[in-house]
Amino acid sequence: MKNTCEKFKTTYISDAKASYHVVELGEANGIYEHQVKILTKYPVHSVLQFRIINKEESIFIYYDITSKQTLDKLLLRKKLKRNEFIKILVEICKIILKSDNYLLIENNFLISDNNIYINPYTLEISLVYLPVKVERECVNTQISLLVNKLILALDEREASIDSFIHKTMVEVNKENFSVKRLLDFLMLKLFKEREEETKEKTEKHNEGATIKNEVYDEEKTEKNFRERKNNIEANKFTHGKEVFKERVKEIVENARAKKKTVFILIQVLVVLVILLVLIESKMFLLPGGETDILKLFATLLVIAALTALLSKKIFDSEKGVENVNTQKKQSIRHNKKNEAKERMKQIVAKRKKKSKNPKEIVLEKAVGLQSVNDNLINIKRENNIFATVLLDTDSREVATLSSTQEGKSRNIIIDNNPFIIGKLKEQVDYTITSTTVSRIHAEICFVNEGYYITDLNSKNGTKINGKKIASNKKYALKDGDIINIAAEEFKLNI
């Protein structure tokens, strides 16, 4: 039985807006219309968005692959870590197992490394889904083949990788192997790895704390005798200081209490005096010679309220003065702390500067002679500046890209085959830190005695002598060609 991917013709095209993976289906009579409507109206995360075009009695499905790379191209320049291997397979398994929720068919996903698309930065997976009636290969078989390819891309330098590969192969080769069983196996491994990482971090933290304690214990033992002697005198002084503070506090509180008592007595006397004056003035006498008790009581309340308000204002003003003094003291302490922190930062910076490696100092001086953008040599070479370089036995002439834009002095040596250009530092040979350049933008390679360039599904495209090129196709280059990587322009020198 033929693989599903081999039954249809696949091409790559691009326009001003996007890059496309195009599948030609031939006649349109085998399409699942309900699946097309669901995926068009409700796009599914991790399934490539597509549109269908009819032309010349054939049907074409255009899958948007802008800024994405096929898994096989990623594996050419990257060794997978164990957690990356697990992450990729877990995501693929989850997509397949959730397909029933959208009335999709598991076997209609194209599960091969050249049809699986991946975001090179986040490693997020996007799968190609064929909404057509076709004789399909079982998805379990496709997944099994993919696992074997991914195992070959694992980084062999990782600890316990051989054991992990063996267990994975045993799981894949079981008679009752399925996508669900594989997902359960990988999730268990992922859980154990996270548990081990947490345990290692805890152990390292504890080891660090133990070492520090041992170092400090020796110093403390030497200081113990002196500290005991000094502590006796210090305790006496501290105790006396604390007693003095408590005594002062007690005196202040007593003074305040007395002050309040005196003030209340004065208020009472003032009220009584005012009341007596008003009584003597015969304000509260009725025409019959009797005292107006209600008027007298009301007057008494008003006078008492006024005196209470006056006393409250006096005590509040005293508290306000105390609060201002407290705030001033706190601000002085805060300023002193900040000054101490700044001094510590300066001391740390000086120590770091003194402890720099001689190689780093030489490199800093060398790099300082040119602008940041003038990257004639990659960081890899900067780290090996004192190493002996083996003469290149390759027959090709060394090519360079020189910037043609004003204010940008760059001369890029094409010293790798293929030579990747983009802004994702970890996966390219030359980094362009521009927002218009894609993470993995374009590739220059030397094939059959000539240089060729390929656009790698970039968002803003690649041009040769002003003409935009299609994605995933090799275009021949010659000496003097002007190459546009998005908004960045270079001249090829061979």
| Element spanning 225, H or E | helix 179-280
Residue 358: is the preceding peptide bond cis (ω within 30°)? no
Cβ burial 233-245 (10 Å sphere, 16+ → b, else e): eeeeeeeeeeeee
The pLDDT tens digits for 88-111 are 999 999 999 998 888 899 889 999
Within 13 Å, how many C-alpha atoms sit on residue 114's CB side? 8
Is 46 in contact with 61 (CB distance < 8 Å)?
no
Q: Which of 51-60, 277-286, 315-324 has the lowest mean pLDDT?
A: 315-324
Question: Which has more confidence, 18 or 407?
Answer: 18
Answer yes or no: is pLDDT of 464 > 90.
yes
CA 26 from chain center: how many Å? 45
Domain boundary among 64, 83, 98: 64
Report pTM: 0.56
Question: Does some domain include residue 451?
Answer: yes
| Mean pLDDT confidence for 63-71 | 90
Residue among 202, 95, 189 nearest 142 (CA): 95
Is 102 in contact with 80 (CB distance < 8 Å)?
no
* β pairing state of 462-464 and 482-485: antiparallel
Cβ burial 47-86 (10 Å sphere, 16+ → b, else e): bbebeeeeeeeebbbbbbbbbbbbbebbbebeebebebbb
Question: Residue 468 pairs with which residues in a beta bridge?
Answer: 463
As a whole number of angstroms, the distance between CA 268 and CA 33 comes to 96
Judged by phi (left if over 0) then psi (alpha if -120 to 50, else beta), residue 69 lies in: beta
| Mean pLDDT confidence for 339-365 | 61
Q: How many distinct structural domains can be found in the chain?
A: 2
Question: Does some domain include residue 28?
Answer: yes
Question: Which has more confidence, 8 or 391?
Answer: 8
Is 76 in contact with 169 (CB distance < 8 Å)?
no
| Mean pLDDT confidence for 67-74 | 89
| Mean pLDDT confidence for 280-288 | 65
Question: Please, what is the angle between helix 139-152 and helix 82-97, to 10°?
Answer: 170
Residue 23 to residues 5, 19, 26, 143, 279, Cα–Cα distance (Å): 9, 13, 9, 21, 111
Residue among 136, 145, 150, 172 nearest 3 (CA): 136
Residue among 493, 459, 339, 439 nearest 14 (CA): 459
pLDDT category of residue 136 using cuts at 50, 70 and 90: low
pLDDT category of residue 229 using cuts at 50, 70 and 90: low
Residue 230 burial class via C-beta count within 10 angstroms: exposed 0-12, middle 13-18, buried 19 and up:
exposed
The SS3 call for residue 50 is strand
Share of the chain above pLDDT 90, in %: 20
Domain boundary among 40, 64, 88: 64
Write the DSSP string, 183-202.
HHHHHHHHHHHHHHHHHHHH
Quick one: the chain helix, strand, coil %, rounded to 5?
50, 20, 30
The SS3 call for residue 134 is coil
Q: What is the pLDDT of residue 93?
A: 93
- Widest CA span in the chain: 135
Answer yes or no: is pLDDT of 356 > 70.
no
Residue among 31, 37, 34 nearest 131 (CA): 31
Q: Which of 64-68, 196-200, 235-239, 367-371 has the lowest mean pLDDT?
A: 367-371
Judged by phi (left if over 0) then psi (alpha if -120 to 50, else beta), residue 466 lies in: left
As a whole number of angstroms, the distance between CA 460 and CA 437 comes to 7
Answer yes or no: is pLDDT of 357 > 60.
no
Question: Which has more confidence, 368 or 309?
Answer: 309
Domain boundary among 64, 92, 112: 64
CATH number at residue 53: 3.30.200.20
Question: Does some domain include residue 200?
Answer: no
Question: Does some domain include residue 74?
Answer: no
CATH number at residue 475: 2.60.200.20
Q: Which residue has the tokens 């870590």?
A: 81
Range of the domain at 35: 4-64
Question: Does some domain include residue 332?
Answer: no
Answer yes or no: is pLDDT of 465 > 90.
yes
User: How long is the chain?
Assistant: 494
As a whole number of angstroms, the distance between CA 65 and CA 119 comes to 10
Answer yes or no: is pLDDT of 454 > 90.
yes
pLDDT category of residue 297 using cuts at 50, 70 and 90: confident
Q: What is the pLDDT of residue 54?
A: 85
Residue among 139, 155, 130, 121 nearest 31 (CA): 130
Answer yes or no: is pLDDT of 385 > 60.
no
CA 74 from chain center: how many Å? 22
Is 61 in contact with 22 (CB distance < 8 Å)?
yes
Using alpha carbons only, give the angle 74, 77, 79 rounded to the nearest 5 degrees.
Answer: 85
The pLDDT tens digits for 468-480 are 998 888 999 999 9
Question: Residue 12 pairs with which residues in a beta bridge?
Answer: 21
Question: Does some domain include residue 462?
Answer: yes
